[in-house]
Amino acid sequence: MKIIFKIWRQDSPAEEGMLKTYEVDDLTEDMSILEALDHLNELLVLRDEKVIAFEYDCREGICGQCGIFINGRAHGPHDQITTCQLHLRSFNDGDTVVIEPWRAASFPVLKDLIVDRSAFDRIIESGAYISSKTGSAPEANAILIAKEVSDTAMDAAACIGCGACVATCKNSSAALFTSAKINHLNSLPQGESEAHKRVIEMTSQMEAEGFGSCTFTGACEVECPESISIVNIAEMNARIIKAKIFG
Ligand code: SF4
Ligand code: FES
């Protein structure tokens, strides 16, 4: 199988990047897109050229590290999968596949397809934890949690921090990510004592990182591989008002 890759190459944040074309004609449709990049890198090593820098860890849709734009869509042409779960059988023999890093001012390109997503880490550090001193591990059923509450919390907890929501949003808003992390903890009784502080500190950090405002276009929800709902953003906004009144 032949694919004509057009891949963003950029040596450092300070340098300008450009799309470079690579024709690879010994691929198979069973290869994942990351395996195709591995293979291309092997060919580049043999040609004594610089390999393409790209990020991954789990390669099974869990860690959120592999996000890139593929033919203009975050994580490629299919809904609800990550880049590492995309296979070449989604393309035709001879297709051109354009691969670029996330595009957002708060996610500067470090090298080739790798961007700096440490802004997400700082949002997490600002409040996505529970610091109540609870002693030793309590009996699992000591705090009863209604099924619908635990479902809400677990649905929000599914966010893998990939950054597709930011990269897709025309405002580069991190509202979907931040709201998922807030609602995961604020929905549960264990997160209640710090709920007001958490929502104020995490949303303040989100703004300090330079992410844009949410204007509810819904693009983030469409491209999110974990189907995180924008209802989380509405919930976060309501929590901000409550925290300002009662916090
Ligand atoms: S909300 Fe979805 S798109 Fe955004 S970081 Fe989490 S998993 Fe990725
Ligand atoms: S490499 Fe972990 S989600 Fe893709």
Closest residue (by CA) to atom 8 of ligand 1? 162
The answer to whether 105 and 172 have CB atoms below 8 angstroms apart is: yes
175 in contact with ligand 1, CB cutoff 6 A = no
Domain count, the chain: 2
Domain containing residue 36: 3-110
Nearest atom of ligand 2 to the alpha carbon of 62: 3
**Residue 26: its H or E element:** none
CATH of the domain at 86: 3.10.20.30
Among residues 114, 140, 130, which one has the least CA distance to residue 187?
A: 130
| Residue of 35, 54, 62 best suited for mutating to test ligand 2, as the one with most atoms within 8 Å of CB | 62
**Pocket lining: 154 vs ligand 2, CB cutoff 6 Å:** no
Whether residues 106 and 200 share a domain: the answer is no
Looking at the structure, tell me whether residues 142 and 237 fall in a common domain.
Answer: yes
Q: Is residue 57 domain-shared with residue 137, that is, in the same domain?
A: no
Angstrom distance (rounded) from CA 31 to CA 28: 6
* Contacts with 137 (C-beta within 8 Å, 6 or more apart), sequence order: none
Question: Does residue 35 line the site of ligand 2, with CB under 6 A?
Answer: no
Please enumerate in sequence order all residues whose Cβ is within 8 A of that of 16, keeping only pairs 6 or more positions apart, or say none: 10
**What pLDDT score does 139 carry?**
79
Q: Looking at residue 32, what is its pLDDT? A: 98
DSSP 212: B
9 shares its domain with 124 = no
In angstroms, the CA 197 to CA 243 distance is: 7
Distance from residue 25's CA to the centre of ligand 2 (Å): 25
Boundary residue ending a domain (41, 76, 110):
110
Asked if residues 34 and 65 have their Cβ atoms less than 8 Å apart, the reply is no
The list of the chain residues with pLDDT below 50 reads none
Collapsed DSSP state (helix, strand, coil) of residue 34: helix
Q: Are residues 241 and 122 in the same domain?
A: yes
* ipTM value greater than 0.90: yes
User: Which of 53, 85, 110 lies at the terminal end of a domain, its last residue?
Assistant: 110
State if residue 161 touches ligand 1 by the CB under 6 angstroms criterion.
yes
Quick one: 208 and 235 in the same domain? yes
Which pLDDT score is estimated for 134? 64
The atom number, within ligand 2, closest to the CA of 55 reads 1
Residues in the chain, total = 247
- Claim to verify: residue 137 and residue 87 sit in the same structural domain: no
User: How remote is the C-alpha of 59 from its chain's centroid?
Assistant: 14
**CATH number, position 207:** 1.10.1060.10
In this structure, are 61 and 174 located in the same domain? no
Measured in angstroms, how far is the CA atom of residue 145 from the centroid of ligand 1? 25
In this structure, the answer to whether residues 73 and 93 fall within a common structural domain is yes
Q: Verify whether ligand 2 is closer than 6 Å to residue 163 (CB atom).
A: no
Last residue of a domain, one of 110, 136, 169: 110
